[in-house]
A and B are shown apart, each in its own frame.
Chain A
Amino acid sequence: MKALLSGNEAIALGAYHAGIRVATAYPGTPSTEILTELAKHDDIYAEWSTNEKVAMEVAIGSSYAGARTIVSMKHVGLNVASDPFMAVAATGVNGGLVVVTADDPGIGSSQNEQDNRYYGKLAGIPVLEPNDSQSAYDLTMYAFELSEKYDTPVILRSTTRISHSKAVVETDRERPQNLPALGFKFNAKKLVTLPAHARELHKVNVERLRKLAEASDEYEGNEEIFRSPDFGIITAGISYQHAMQIFPDASYLKLTFSYPLPENKIRDFASKVKKVIVIEELEPIMEEQIKAMGIDVEGKKYLPLCGELSADIIRKAAKAADWPGNLEHNDNLEPDYFPPRAPALCPGCPHVGLFYTLSNLAIRRADDDKKLIINGDIGCYTLGAQPPLNAMDACGCMGAGIGYSQGMYHAGLNQKTVSLIGDSTFLHSGMTTLLNAVYNKAEGLTIILDNSITAMTGHQPHPACPYTAQRKPTKAVDLVAVCRALGADSVETVNAFDMKALKDAVTSNLEKSGVNVLIVMGRCAAINKEGRGQKMFCSPFDCVKCGTCLKLGCPALKIGSNGTVEIDQDLCFGENCAICAQVCPKHAISKLDGGN
């Protein structure tokens, strides 16, 4: 059957058809939809784990039990999961274990750009790289076979452009009717990583990698396409597709099993083609290895190390390097400048009131050496760093903000800090850090932005939600109880849409000594469909054009033709937000039917 599938949908279907029993993940762009898709099947178990490390550990246990298992995450997720990942790379598997890392070249929606093909080298395990949805589907199947045959976890490395592009896929397989029986294989020398065992395992791993290099050479998906004796390209992943657009007449060594490299195939290809170039996105991983084989290739001398590749970028490199290809193109003039449309917090977003409150505090407006430092975290609320709210000063990776504040405290910075963290992020990696503040007595306020969902990545449930990835009812943990149990001196909650209460709660909590937590509660607008109420309206007679409400940065508010504020009725969330009405000093904003 032919279907139009995204790379993620193709990976999910490939895994389903490969007979997986278990799928685990923590959401993260561009990997999220793999688990969302798998969760739709009743005949497998799929979970949103609390974080990637946990997802990896659950997946490893499932593999040890003999089940084919897939665990998926975004590139930085593998940083979080790297400890159990390195352990399973050493022990090997039982049921096939596929680790999907979806990298984000170009940083469409991430905090950094990193090339996770290095993890294959680090762990000494194979890396497979799909170049479109069809190959994502096919490679997922192959990944399980490889994993079981060589007793190794396998990295399936996607990128945003593969994961989020749709293409036609021939989905020719079916899920097996009967899955192989489960069975844990008792073998402490393999599964208990005592130093004595681990030393032996490392030797086994080195030998495994040598065999995998042979497998890479034999794999038919590492395909030579011979067209020209003059110019040849070694490439993998999406880069192949872009390259074909510029160099349709070149010879290709098109790789999908890219670590370990198929050395014999590469030597053979290079001997048949006069000039060989390597086209790969981000790091020169293949290029360096091929050069180390003593083969003369060009690549990153002309191609960028940063960002996504495209046919356009490759064409420019080809011109500079004098590579032969389709270099003629209608190069349009550069576009004029137009005002940007940066992403903004939604109308009705429960995060807005808190940021507005923080940015208007007197200590936030003080000189730099007295000013309140806001250590933020990752989620929709990171948008609070942007104008007009400007209420975040540092944000590195998930869970880091609470730790930053503690470091500033212990360093002796004579200035107040506050840590902001989303509910999903707190449960992902904020709890141990709060515990650290309690144990090591780092005084300070942590504010948890509880919008009842993991919003940033498309609204996945987390452990404080009453249902699971597969929509089964479950026990929702109580954030207040969690924070109390971790030892916080005080834990308060406040309504995210009550501006007065917010201001009082933030001010009083900032004055307290000890380790304190304030939980700001308000449902994410995207899942708050029930309670919107009447739309808001700004009276042009009462508006004095002071611009106070515009400092909320709400997309529904704009300056109308006569200079007063207008509220876009299509965008306005409604009276159950009404933050604008609360900040307007002239009470010009009210419910649509509640006029003067």
Chain B
Amino acid sequence: MDIEHGFDIVLVGVGGQGVVLASDILSEVAMRNGYDVKKTDTLGMAQRGGSVVSNVRIAPKIYSPIIDRGDANFLVGFEKLETVRYADMLRTDGVTLMNDSKIDPVSVSTGKGEYPSDQAIDAEIAKYADNTIKFDATEKSHELGNVKVLNTIMLGALSFFLPFSVSKWNEVLAERLPAKVVDINLDAFKAGRAIILDIISRAEPADLSGDVEEEKEENNQYYM
């Protein structure tokens, strides 16, 4: 995972969670940092609470907008079941950032299927890659007073691992969002970064890949 090879990032969630807007913002930030970017969304039939997947590819030059199974550097999961559903997108050294929160699909709420246990989810993700960071971004969004900022919290968390300055993120957030929700989203973005900073500063270094450790130093500066 380096700048030359770029970043393949898969964002997944449930219709209505703001996955598409998040991937739009991520792509715009990458472009303003001088990269070639392609992004593509799969929404299924419109967006009525179905699963939503966004592929964002960032590199000096991109051809296909679709990320191949087994190639994703990051899997950003807005919901647990959706995260595990797309875990096979990960590279072996890929990192999963998962909102530790669930939304029952109708197949589960009507008793037709069972929501997987946390153990089953962890085991499935571990089949493909080792690095998973879990945190409850939904709760954080409630704390901030608006569930709609969930996607910005997830972006804040992801931003920690990417070589883009916070000022560029803030610039794009401010341009892309309606004026009256900009401030709360800037706070949500900060909160997302703080969650990762907190988890990482408490973790044993061995739990994390080398790149993450290196970038931590650099990113901390932006955070100020």
Which residues of A approach B to under 8 Å, CB–CB?
A: 2, 4, 29, 108-109, 132, 161, 164-168, 238, 240-242, 244-245, 310-312, 329-336, 338-346, 380, 383, 387-388, 456-458, 547, 550-551, 553, 555, 557-559, 568, 570-571
Contacts and interface: CB of A to CB of B under 8 A. Distances in A.
B37 A550 contact: no
Given A245-B63, A340-B107, A559-B109, A4 B28 contact: yes
B49 A555 contact: yes
B106 A242 contact: no
A244 B107 CA distance: 39
A341 B147 contact: no
Nearest to B69: A332
A343 B47 contact: yes
A24 to B, nearest CB: 23
Contacts of B103: 555, 568, 571
Interface in B52-77: 62-66, 68-71
B49 A344 contact: yes
Nearest to B114: A339
Pick the most buried of A2, A4, A332: most chain B CB atoms within 10 A of its CB: A332
Given A168-B36, A168-B37, A335-B85, A550 B111 contact: yes
A242 B107 contact: no
B49 A346 contact: yes
B26 to A, nearest CB: 11
Contacts of B41: 164
Candidate in A29, A164, A343, A550 with the most chain B CB atoms within 10 angstroms: A343
Contacts of A165: 38-40, 65
B88 A335 contact: yes
A343 B27 CA distance: 26
Given A242-B66, A338-B81, A458 B46 contact: yes
Contacts of B112: 339, 387
B43 interface: yes
A511 B101 CA distance: 49
Contacts of A310: 64, 66, 68
Given A168-B37, A553-B106, A343 B48 contact: yes
Contact of B108 (A334, A383, A547, A558): A558
Contacts of B163: none
A560 to B, nearest CB: 10
A572 B115 CA distance: 20
Most buried by A among B104, B106, B109, B113: B106
B110 A161 contact: no
A341 B105 contact: yes
B46 A338 contact: no
B114 A168 contact: no
A545 B103 CA distance: 20
Contact of A161 (B47, B48, B65, B124): B65
B128 interface: yes
Contact of A343 (B44, B109, B124): B44
B193 interface: no
Smallest CB-CB A-B distances: 6 pairs? A339-B113, A343-B50, A341-B105, A558-B109, A165-B40, A330-B70
30 contacts: A29-B46, A108-B44, A109-B43, A109-B45, A164-B40, A165-B39, A165-B40, A166-B24, A166-B38, A167-B36, A167-B38, A167-B62, A238-B64, A331-B69, A332-B70, A332-B127, A338-B116, A340-B107, A341-B51, A342-B44, A342-B106, A346-B49, A383-B45, A388-B110, A456-B46, A550-B109, A550-B110, A555-B109, A559-B111, A571-B103
Given A335-B88, A344-B48, A166 B37 contact: yes
Contact of A312 (B68, B84, B108): B68
B184 to A, nearest CB: 16
Nearest to B62: A167
B85 A338 contact: yes
Contacts of B104: 558
Given A333-B88, A343-B49, A456-B46, A242 B63 contact: yes
A26 B88 CA distance: 38
B31 interface: yes
A168 B68 contact: no
Interface in B117-174: 120, 124, 127-128, 147
Contacts of B43: 108-109
Nearest to B42: A108
B64 A244 contact: yes
Nearest to B41: A164
Given A109-B43, A339-B113, A553-B110, 17 more contacts: A109-B46, A167-B38, A312-B69, A330-B71, A330-B91, A332-B88, A332-B128, A336-B124, A338-B116, A339-B116, A343-B47, A343-B48, A383-B48, A387-B110, A550-B110, A550-B111, A557-B109
B62 to A, nearest CB: 8
B37 A311 contact: no
Contacts of B6: none
A431 B195 CA distance: 57
